[in-house]
């Protein structure tokens, strides 16, 4: 199967009311784990690469792994750029074979964000690459957000309506209380805000920083219109915790495969659990 775009993938999710997991890859083992989990769960899957992943593995390696994985897969696989901030990089990703890009202009003013996102759409649309954009500021878990800060940082539903109408994006990443990284306490999601955004935009909504959000909260968010759930931290944890366990068990082990193999297996299990929570399991016959 060739890579499919995220927009294409989210059509069925939107119709049936589930979400597709977007899992960050950094190396071969994680890329393999993402596709292995999708095959085992008969689930569509989005593999994505962050700025860090591209710096670490290189754009060509990431693209080659995803293209190879998709060509062998019997379930739909998408390859998405996560938090693209440079137009040049978006172009590079599209040219190298990505089926979707996220352009993150959330640090810009609304007008600039609209202008840049439109520019991305102009080059992505003709080649069938779907576009996710972000409005509002998704924090880091170290950021303590007070109630008064919420309105400044969280996505404004009316702005979201304008943004979606003016750009024509395929899906929108929003800030409703999740954060990137490991949470210290339990994150509280602003479901009312999500409900309003969804009602005003009518497009698939994306939840970032979803690792560590309780399953019930994620499922409630999916009920209210979240169609793509990003998971990075939980994958890092599964991978590194397994490596640590194997190294502690066998401190003299010098075969990387004996450490990385179990890390890959644990990552598969973590991703499979997420797919069941998101309701994407068993969607592909």
By CB under 5 A, how many residues form the interface with Zn ion? 1
- Which of 198, 208, 264, 274 binds Zn ion (CB under 5 A)? It is 208
Which of 139, 279 has the CB closer to Zn ion? 139
Which of 132, 246 has the CB closer to Zn ion? 132
What secondary structure does DSSP assign to 7-27, as a single string? Answer: HHHHHHHHHHT--EEEEE--S
**Where are any strands of DSSP class E within the chain?**
20-24, 45-49, 77-84, 100-103, 130-135, 139-140, 171-174, 179-180, 205-207, 226-231
Q: How far is the CB of 232 from Zn ion (least distance, A)?
A: 8
Q: Give the span between the Cα atoms of 275 and 281, in whole angstroms.
A: 6
Q: Which stretch binds Zn ion (CB under 5 A): 156-164, 185-193, 205-213, 263-271?
A: 205-213
Nearest CA to 21 out of 10, 32, 5, 30 is that of 10
Contacts of 3 (CB under 8 A, 6+ apart): 66, 67, 70, 77, 78, 79, 97, 98, 99
Which of 208, 227 has the CB closer to Zn ion? 208
255 catalytic residue (yes or no): no
Which of 208, 228 has the CB closer to Zn ion? 208
Instruction: Determine contact, residues 239/263, Cβ cutoff 8 Å.
Output: yes
**Where are any strands of DSSP class E within 65-115?**
77-84, 100-103
Query: Exactly one of 12, 14, 82, 190 is catalytic; which is it?
Result: 82
Task: Fill in the per-residue mask, 163 to 202: x = in contact with Zn ion (CB under 5 A), - = not in contact.
Answer: ----------------------------------------
Q: Give the span between the Cα atoms of 119 and 143, in whole angstroms.
A: 31
Which of 208, 274 has the CB closer to Zn ion? 208
Q: Give the span between the Cα atoms of 168 and 161, in whole angstroms.
A: 11
- 77 φ, ψ (degrees, to nearest 5): -125, 135
Q: Which residue is nearest to Zn ion (CB)?
A: 208
Q: Which stretch binds Zn ion (CB under 5 A): 146-154, 208-216, 264-272, 274-282?
A: 208-216
Q: How far is the CB of 230 from Zn ion (least distance, A)?
A: 5
Q: How far is the CB of 77 from Zn ion (least distance, A)?
A: 20
Instruction: Determine contact, residues 130/7, Cβ cutoff 8 Å.
Output: yes
Q: How far is the CB of 259 from Zn ion (least distance, A)?
A: 28
Q: How far is the CB of 51 from Zn ion (least distance, A)?
A: 11
Where does this chain bind Zn ion (CB under 5 A)?
208
Catalytic residue positions, numbered? 82
């Amino acid at each position: 199967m060739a890579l499919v775009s995220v927009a294409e993938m989210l059509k069925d999710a939107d119709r049936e009311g589930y979400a597709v997991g977007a899992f960050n890859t950094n190396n071969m083992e994680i890329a393999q784990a993402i596709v292995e989990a999708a095959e085992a769960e008969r689930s569509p899957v989005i593999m994505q690469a962050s700025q860090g992943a591209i710096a670490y593995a290189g754009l060509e390696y990431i693209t080659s792994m995803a293209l190879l994985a998709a060509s062998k897969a019997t379930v739909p696989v998408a390859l998405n750029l996560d938090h693209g901030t440079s137009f040049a990089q978006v172009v590079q990703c599209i040219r190298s074979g990505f089926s979707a890009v996220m352009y993150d202009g959330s640090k810009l003013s609304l007008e600039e964000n609209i202008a840049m996102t439109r520019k991305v759409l102009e080059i992505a649309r003709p080649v069938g690459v779907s576009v996710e954009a972000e409005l509002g500021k998704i924090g880091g878990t170290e950021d303590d957000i007070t109630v008064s800060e919420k309105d400044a940082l969280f996505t404004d539903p009316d702005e979201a309506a304008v943004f979606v109408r003016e750009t024509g994006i395929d899906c929108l990443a929003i800030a409703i209380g999740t954060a990137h990284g490991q949470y210290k306490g339990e994150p509280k999601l602003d479901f009312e805000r999500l409900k309003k955004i969804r009602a005003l935009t009518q497009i698939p909504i994306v939840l970032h920083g979803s690792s560590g959000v309780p399953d019930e909260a994620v499922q409630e968010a999916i009920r209210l219109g979240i169609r793509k759930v990003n998971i990075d931290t939980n994958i890092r944890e599964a991978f590194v915790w397994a490596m640590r366990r194997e190294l502690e068990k066998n401190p003299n082990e010098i075969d990387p495969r004996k450490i990385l193999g179990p890390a890959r297996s644990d990552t598969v299990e973590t991703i499979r659990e997420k797919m069941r929570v998101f309701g994407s399991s068993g969607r592909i016959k």
